[in-house]
Amino acid sequence: MHPTLPTLQPINMILKTPYYLIDENRLRHNLLKIQSVKELSGAKSVLALKCFSTWSVFDLMSQYLDGTTSSSLYEARLGHETFHGEVHAYSVAFSAEDIQELKAYSNKIIFNSISQLKAFHDQVSHLDIGLRINPQISFSDYDIADPARRYSRLGVTDYNAIHQVLHLINGVMFHFNCENEDFEAYSAMLDTISETYVELLPQLEWVSLGGGVAFTSENYPLEKFAQKLKAFSQRFEIQVYLEPGDAVVTKSTDLVTTVLDIVHNEIDIAIVDSSIGTHMLDLLEYRAEATIKGSNQGEYRYMIAGKTCLAGDIFGTFHFKSKLKVGDQITIADAGGYTMVKMNWFNGLKMPSIVVKRLDGIHEIVKTFDYTDFKNNLS
Question: What would the pLDDT profile of 36-86 be if each residue is shown by its tens digit?
Answer: 999 999 999 999 999 999 999 999 999 999 999 999 999 999 999 999 899
Mean pLDDT score across all residues of the chain: 94
User: Does residue 196 share a domain with residue 138?
Assistant: yes
**Residue-wise pLDDT tens digits, 349-362:** 999 999 999 999 99
Stretch 364-379: mean pLDDT? 95
CATH number (domain holding residue 297): 2.40.37.10
User: Does residue 222 share a domain with residue 85?
Assistant: yes
Q: What is the pTM of this model?
A: 0.93
User: Does residue 238 share a domain with residue 126?
Assistant: yes
Of 249, 272, 297, the residue at which a domain comes to its end is 249
CATH number (domain holding residue 151): 3.20.20.10
User: Does residue 191 share a domain with residue 101?
Assistant: yes
User: Does residue 219 share a domain with residue 85?
Assistant: yes
- In the structure, what pLDDT confidence band is assigned to residue 242 with cuts at 50, 70 and 90? very high
Q: Is residue 9 part of a domain?
A: no
Which residue type, as a one-letter code, is found at position 153?
R
What was the pLDDT predicted at 262?
98
> How many structural domains are present in the chain?
2
Nearest to 204 by CA among 233, 243, 244, 242: 233
Nearest to 337 by CA among 179, 192, 177: 179
Backbone angles phi, psi at 307, to 5 degrees: -105, 10
Q: In this structure, is the dihedral angle defined by the CA atoms of residues 357, 359, 361 and 365, taken in order, positive or negative?
A: negative
Of 194, 227, 249, the residue at which a domain comes to its end is 249
pLDDT at 12 over 50: no
- In the structure, what pLDDT confidence band is assigned to residue 290 with cuts at 50, 70 and 90? very high
Distances (CA, A) of 19 to 67, 214, 289, 369: 27, 26, 19, 10
User: Does residue 232 share a domain with residue 295?
Assistant: no
User: Does residue 221 share a domain with residue 126?
Assistant: yes
What was the pLDDT predicted at 295?
85
pLDDT at 162 over 90: yes
Q: Angle CA(131)–CA(137)–CA(139) in degrees, nearest 5?
A: 110
What was the pLDDT predicted at 359?
97
Q: Is residue 5 part of a domain?
A: no
What was the pLDDT predicted at 2?
47
User: Does residue 59 share a domain with residue 180?
Assistant: yes
- In the structure, what pLDDT confidence band is assigned to residue 89 with cuts at 50, 70 and 90? very high
CA 141 to chain centre: 17
User: Does residue 43 share a domain with residue 143?
Assistant: yes
Q: Is residue 1 part of a domain?
A: no
Residues facing 317 on adjacent strands: 303
User: Does residue 287 share a domain with residue 207?
Assistant: no
Nearest to 107 by CA among 82, 76, 81: 76
Stretch 113-135: mean pLDDT? 97
What was the pLDDT predicted at 6?
46
User: Does residue 54 share a domain with residue 183?
Assistant: yes
Q: Is residue 66 part of a domain?
A: yes
Q: Is residue 19 part of a domain?
A: no
pLDDT at 325 over 50: yes
- In the structure, what pLDDT confidence band is assigned to residue 4 with cuts at 50, 70 and 90? very low
User: Does residue 314 share a domain with residue 209?
Assistant: no
DSSP3 helix / strand / coil % (the chain, rounded to 5): 35, 25, 40
High-pLDDT (> 70) share of the chain, %: 96
Of 249, 273, 296, the residue at which a domain comes to its end is 249
* Domain, as residue range, for 226: 25-249
pLDDT at 9 over 60: no
Q: Rounded distance, CA 114 to CA 36, Å?
A: 35
Stretch 366-370: mean pLDDT? 95
Stretch 182-193: mean pLDDT? 96
Q: Is residue 18 part of a domain?
A: no
Q: Is residue 4 part of a domain?
A: no
Q: Is residue 2 part of a domain?
A: no
Stretch 178-198: mean pLDDT? 96
